[in-house]
Structure 1
């Protein structure tokens, strides 16, 4: 009896040991599951916290753009970054398109105005009526010519605006001894025949003082002469006709009133101080050269064509016929077509206008596309 009891004790103890080991193993699994659950819970809690913070931030942004009348909250249509990348370029290109539109309309008005002006019959020149100030003044009573800011002196256009490009007749004599040249310049035929700027012969415009009966001196551009004909400073005989000044030999000429020329950027003087050569028809420098107390009027000696009508499609052929109809080849006089062409034509303004408006529409379309796709909503 005693032996059986002894032999059964170890098995009971053994069974108890196995049971205890299984329990401990199960407890280990439960501890691991609990740790994992805690990690998942903590991650979920953090995600909820971040979401709540994001919701609060969006809610505060909506409050700033809420409707004041109904109190309805809505998101802004365009953010600051979107406005920076899309709004500013769109506004800029649109304004440039408006600017080119105004330039185009102004250029068309100028063409019509010049056509009407050039079609009118020549009128006698009257300095006291056509100029902004009286050209003949006593030196002591007139302001200093060197004061460019003087209101009474316009260094570009001394004539009144309504008389610019008006054809006038003048009577007096040319002072050929004080003749000056402006250049080098391309031949007028280059512009008349719509040739490339790289083509065309170079030459000079001949500016000669024209003395009127009342003593007023105006500058008359007698036309263009090639440099092969008029070699400045060359003592050899020239093919270009040199005339002598004769105050008693008065003549009547037809000319067109025109403004002077601006100096280019970085150029302070158009006269080198050594010769009678100028680089531009700068009336202020010309007045200083002749020691005048006033800005002289500038005119182009004109080959008048009665009943002139401008036709843009036939300009080249019309200009060539007008050039061939001049009584002498040199100096080459101005013709009406010369005043109807601008450096930037109306067609060029239309091309610029279409370019800027197209860019504006493309920017707006790009913004709408990405806005609908919600690709930039969080900029």
Structure 2
């Protein structure tokens, strides 16, 4: 009755199902783990943004490895800007700073990176915000000057950028004072003061700077959890569909065999026979 299960078609179908079930279960857990990571990351960012700002020199130092728990940590820094060693990070989008182009996409420009020399002689890189590109991409863009003299800045602490973390490939031979990655390690030789690890995304400055400053980098999104949980549930539903589909096909095949056996066989006359009249 069930000899059809050993046919080539059914053996392949069964083996394929046995492979798909654990694969899709693993894919579901992979998406679940991504969801959990996203939620945990959002909690870290939210806590860091709500925290009372600490002096940057108490959170980082030259050569430090910033822990993930300090991602976007609110920090303050007091000192004066070193505009002589200011540079820009290339190919940066404006985010939601109201500078999107007319086609609906985000305009590509620069992030302005200015070292802030602290009172102890060390310096921290400050991402002062986004500016539009000039007509000549090889020329250093015109950048609004920051406040002169001693300032106090508040910002979000970010780890040094790397290609593996950002997907931005570092390039050599770029125009003067232009970089691809914002890194206290890669940019240390271009800044005379010793740089602390990481950099700051500027949030506010005291005293208040003049108008026309670079557009501040927007606060990171820490409310969206993405579609990963929905994807996990989909994979597990697909997993359930495999045995259900196998059973449906099995019952259909079995019903067809039973129906074929239930049909009476019609006797066939041998070829070439001639009816005999009585």
Q: Please confirm whether the aligned pair reaches a TM-score higher than 0.5, indicating the same fold.
A: yes
- Compare CA radii of gyration and give the structure with the larger one: 1
1:330 is aligned to 2:213: yes
For structure 2, list consecutive stretches of 5 or more residues without a partner in the other structure.
Answer: 255-278
Aligned to 2:201: 300
With over 3 angstroms needed to count, the CA separation of the structure-2 counterparts of 1:329 and 1:93, relative to structure 1, is farther
Q: Measure, in 2, the Cα distance between the counterparts of 1:177 and 1:350.
A: 49
Aligned to 2:271: none
With over 3 angstroms needed to count, the CA separation of the structure-2 counterparts of 1:367 and 1:292, relative to structure 1, is farther
Whose RCO is larger (CA < 8 A, sep 6+)? 2
Aligned to 1:226: 132
Aligned to 2:57: 126
1:88-107: CA deviations, max 9, x gaps? 22211111111111211221
Aligned to 2:227: 348
1:254 is aligned to 2:185: no
Report which of the two has the higher share of strand.
Answer: 2
Q: Is the 8 A contact 1:205 1:222 kept in 2?
A: yes
For structure 1, list consecutive stretches of 5 or more residues without a partner in the other structure.
Answer: 1-54, 56-74, 136-152, 305-325
2:24 aligned to 85, 90, 93, which one?
A: 93
1:166 aligned to 66, 73, 80, which one?
A: 73
1:177 is paired with a residue whose SS is: helix
TM-score, L = length of structure 1: 0.53
1:367 is paired with a residue whose SS is: helix
Residue 349 of structure 1 and its aligned partner are, at CA, apart by 1.5
Provide the aligned length of Structure 1 versus Structure 2: 243
With over 3 angstroms needed to count, the CA separation of the structure-2 counterparts of 1:226 and 1:91, relative to structure 1, is same
Q: Measure, in 2, the Cα distance between the counterparts of 1:195 and 1:368.
A: 55
Q: Measure, in 1, the Cα distance between the counterparts of 2:13 and 2:54.
A: 62
Q: Measure, in 2, the Cα distance between the counterparts of 1:361 and 1:201.
A: 45
Aligned to 2:83: 176
1:346 is paired with a residue whose SS is: coil
1:153-182: CA deviations, max 9, x gaps? 57xxx3233333111111111111111111
**For 1:199-214, what aligned pairs fall within 5 Å after superposition?**
199-214=105-120
1:227 is paired with a residue whose SS is: coil
Report which of the two has the higher share of helix.
Answer: 1
With over 3 angstroms needed to count, the CA separation of the structure-2 counterparts of 1:209 and 1:194, relative to structure 1, is closer
Q: Measure, in 2, the Cα distance between the counterparts of 1:166 and 1:225.
A: 24
